[in-house]
Structure 1
Amino acid sequence: MIRVVIAEDQKMLSGALASLLTLEDDIEVVAQAADGKAALKAIENYHPDVCLLDIEIPFMTGLEVAEKLREQKNPCKIIIVTTFARPGYLQKALALKVDGYLLKDEPIDFLISSIRKVINGERIISTDLAAALFINEENPLTEREAEILRLVKNGLTTEQIAKTLYLTNGTVRNYLSSAIQKLEAESRHQAIKTASEKGWI
């Protein structure tokens, strides 16, 4: 029996997925999680064979959960499931050596066969994502610039970011200004949109 944990914040989608997978004789859904922290806890508690991780889940992204599992040397097979064919996301997923990277609009049969294939040691990538592998656009942001953009995206003010990172307000503004320039954006919101779309934050 292949034990599966699903990490997906859209409850209807998560429930439908669980119902369809449970119809298979050799697959059992042992837990569903609506955010990254809950997913990590479920994986640690239930020791699944495979985890299906949506990228854009709250608290920790699917990629951050994957990174944590790799750090812990957790043997669970990792399949990233996403709506987005973003090169930055795909490159990070490949760097983490995830076992599968699938688009959500794939037929359920493709997902089911992918689960079985990764258990047997194969790596699966949706065909439509293959083109993204060749768009190796260099991320111009430093880690600190990306971190600050992420915090702005999460709704923190300049003052809150300064306190969180032990920086002055002026230093935070300088990092933001630098990130906006590098991304050729006209505002911090446009910079966040560009960096998000490319999978850099």
Structure 2
Amino acid sequence: MKIFLLESHIMILDALKQLLSLQGGIEIVGSDTDGEQAIEKICLTQPEIVLSEINLAGINGIKLAKAIRKEKLTCKIVLISSNFPYNFYQEASKLKIDGYLLKNITIDKLVFSLKAIYGGNKIFSPEVKRNSQLFTTSLTSREIDVIKLLQAGKNTKEIANTLYLSDRTIRNYIYLIKNKLNVKTRIDIINQAAKLGVI
């Protein structure tokens, strides 16, 4: 099983290479900390599995997966992270991503999952699927529009004018968004939305 590794932190990347190399039947054919730089290496090394952190330099794991699919490579794609992006499960289905694992798993569980994926299974951490579905049904498309305009630095009146709504309606939307994301300020909304991959 030939694996290409991507991880933003060099120390973690080196540790992961060493740990996986000790497992029978696994060969690490390449690694990188930068998603954009890795695309050419992946094309050259032709791994059977690409195991990638979501938050990479250059391009993130989602965009990396899109680039791999665009190159029509047959490798399986497994993404790993400490948290999940907004609506990830639906996005993963579109990109035919084979697995999404949270970083709180043991190395034994990781190896088991990689072998299962190599064998043709799709593995998604239960938390990812459950929470992705929760956020999909929680935030409305209009609320996401409001969040994006907040990120752009617009105030309540400017958002109202952009969306052709009243100031009061926008304030209500912001109140609902704060409750759904469990935050207190507009800055918190932007930070939490970015963490979840909404923006």
Q: TM-score when scaled to structure 1?
A: 0.74
- The residue aligned with 1:193 is 191
CA contact (8 A) 2:101 2:125 kept: yes
Q: Deviations over 1:77-120 (max 9, x none)?
A: 00010100344233322332200100011111111111111111
How far 1:72 moved relative to its partner?
2.2
2-structure distance, mates of 1:128, 1:120: 23
- The residue aligned with 1:126 is 125
How far 1:128 moved relative to its partner?
2.8
Q: TM-score when scaled to structure 2?
A: 0.75
3-state SS, counterpart of residue 12 of structure 1: helix
CA contact (8 A) 1:55 1:80 kept: yes
Identity of aligned residues (%): 26
Residue 106 in 1 paired to residue 120 in 2?
A: no
How far 1:50 moved relative to its partner?
0.4
Letter in 1 for 2:75: C
- When residues 46 and 146 of structure 1 are mapped into structure 2, their CA distance, relative to the original with a 3 A threshold, is farther
RMSD: 3.0
- The residue aligned with 2:88 is 89
How far 1:146 moved relative to its partner?
5.3
CA contact (8 A) 1:89 1:198 kept: no
How far 1:45 moved relative to its partner?
1.7
- The residue aligned with 2:69 is 70
Question: 5+ residue gaps in structure 2?
Answer: 164-169, 179-184
Alignment of 1:1-201 (within 5 A): 2-135=1-134, 136-137=136-137, 138=139, 140=141, 141=144, 149=151, 184=177, 187=186, 189-201=187-199
3-state SS, counterpart of residue 121 of structure 1: coil
2-structure distance, mates of 1:106, 1:190: 29
Q: How many residues align?
A: 176
